[in-house]
Amino acid sequence: MMRRLSVTLGVALLAATLSLAQSPKKKHKKPAKPPAPATVSLAEGLPKPEPPPPHTTIVEQIVARVNDKIIDTTDYNSARKDLKASLDQAAQQNGTTVSPVDLAKQDKDLLAQMINNQLLIQRAQDLGLSAETQTILQLDKIRKDNHLATMEDLQKAVEAQGENYQDYEQSIKSGILEQMVIEQDVAPRISAPAPAEIKAYYDAHKTSFVTPDEVRLSEILVKTDGKTPEEQKRLQSLADQIQQRAGRGEDFSKLAQRYSNAPSASAGGDIGFEQRNQLQDSLAKVLFALPMNGVTPVEKTSSGYLILQVTDRHSAGQETLQEASAKISQFLYQRKLQPELKSYMQKLRQDAYITVAPGYVDLGASADNAGPDLTKFYRVLPSDLPKPTDKDKSKNGGFNMGGGGI
């Protein structure tokens, strides 16, 4: 823009100079002889031709096409980021780390899962399903679970984690639609586990239903990293005041949202369940001695001043058949669902138009519906093809799809 403006001004100044040179002379009393004007050639007055623009860089590329929808590089990279975050969170809750082998396997399955999800969403549209109400209810549940006062607070919490709220809301809606399709098209084919099946599984896996001693915790962390001794003293006083307020029964989650510097602050400080054998002996002794909603004294850590609250408790022991029945029933149902869902997805794929760009792999493509070798031939939709001229039509009798057609 700046270059174009300078060119326009240069041409205007040249035109003005020529106009003045051609205007009638007025009479003046022996004006001083002006210096000879510099000779301006047309070539010097006009700017040099601009070089051709550099080759345009393609930011978005199509990774896969699923009927009339596409999965582009932004979708794919965002899904990879979400996958990594989900695996890290699950590993953290289990006190483990994500192995490179597990991450590579999940990453390899990712595109197939994205294609399957898109097929389910398109099927939901075909069935005329809507998830507007369910999405609102689910978002409100998430808000309550995270001890947030309003939906605006939920939006701020999502955006504080670097995620677009509209994308987050859409992911919730898509997940609900996928589940609705499965419940409508697949679930009716499956019978609920019988009581005898549930008991047989319980008897064969009793050791799996021994619960450990564990407590659910919320935290408030007042960080002192990089603070001067004077600032640390002030922050210790703040932590003491917070602990006293929590001890008097003030809402711990609201205190966490206001004062905590930990990542859990947006969730009201909730950090989930911790098993006794995963805690330091001294800390476990304090926590398991506290009553429900009891608060620990302020603990100085390497990061700052920490306050914990016990919000739930599970005692160790063998679950009875009645206590374990719901979990077993859900597990057996899922086990029956998997082969039916696999067969259902294969049918959706067979009836769908799916292409994958070279360099990407769709593990969900079976030998029957994988289509042509995409490293040798890239399929396109008819809408992508150039419109034929009358000459082309008379010569070829219509479109020449190439490669045996679509």
CB 311 within 8 A of CB 292: yes
Tally of CA atoms within 13 A in the half-sphere of 380 that contains its CB: 9
Residues, the chain, total?
Answer: 406
- Other C-beta atoms closer than 10 Å to the C-beta of 108 total 11
- Written as six digits, the tokens of 65 are 């096409």
Torsion of CA 271, 105, 362, 124, to 10 degrees: -30
Quick check: 25 pLDDT over 70? no
81-91: pLDDT as tens digits: 888 888 887 77
Calpha distance 214→149 (Å, rounded): 28
User: Mean pLDDT, to the nearest integer, of 3-31?
Assistant: 36
C-alpha to C-alpha distances, 41 to 12, 16, 17, 36, nearest whole angstrom: 15, 15, 12, 15
CB 279 within 8 A of CB 308: no
Calpha distance 240→253 (Å, rounded): 17
pLDDT band at 44 (very low <50, low <70, confident <90, very high): very low
Calpha distance 270→266 (Å, rounded): 9
Distance of CA 378 to the CA centre of its chain: 29
pLDDT band at 249 (very low <50, low <70, confident <90, very high): very high
137-174: pLDDT as tens digits: 999 988 887 777 899 989 998 898 888 999 999 999 99
Question: Beta 62-66 vs 304-314: how paired, if at all?
Answer: unpaired
What domains lie within the chain, and their CATH numbers? 213-315 (3.10.50.40)
- Written as six digits, the tokens of 302 are 């390497």
The single residue listed with the structure tokens 């978005």 is 60
Quick check: 17 pLDDT over 70? no
Q: What pLDDT, on a 0 to 100 scale, did the predictor assign at position 12? A: 36
Above pLDDT 90, what percent of the chain? 54
Amino acid identity of residue 29, one-letter, is K
- Written as six digits, the tokens of 134 are 């369910």
The single residue listed with the structure tokens 């769709």 is 362
The single residue listed with the structure tokens 């009393």 is 29
Calpha distance 337→342 (Å, rounded): 9
Amino acid identity of residue 241, one-letter, is Q
Q: Calculate the average pLDDT of the chain.
A: 78
Quick check: 29 pLDDT over 50? no
Handedness of CA 7, 13, 17, 20 (dihedral sign): positive
pLDDT band at 261 (very low <50, low <70, confident <90, very high): very high
**HEC letters along the chain:** CHHHHHHHHHHHHHHHHHHHHHCCCCCCCCCCCCCCCCCCCHHHHCCCCCCCCCCCCCCCCEEEEECCEEEEHHHHHHHHHHHHHHHHHHHHHCCCCCCHHHHHHHHHHHHHHHHHHHHHHHHHHHCCCCCHHHHHHHHHHHHHHCCCCCHHHHHHHHHHCCCCHHHHHHHHHHHHHHHHHHHHHHHHHCCCCCHHHHHHHHHHCHHHHEECCEEEEEEEEEECCCCCHHHHHHHHHHHHHHHHHHHCCCCHHHHHHHHCCCHHHHHCCEEEEEEHHHCCHHHHHHHCCCCCCCECCCEECCCEEEEEEEEEEECCEECCHHHHHHHHHHHHHHHHHHHHHHHHHHHHHHCCCEEECCCCCCCCCCCCCCCCCCCCCCCCCHHHCCCCCHHHHHHHCCCCCCCCCC
Quick check: 391 pLDDT over 90? no
Among 91, 389, 330, 293, CA closest to 192: 330
User: Mean pLDDT, to the nearest integer, of 331-348?
Assistant: 93
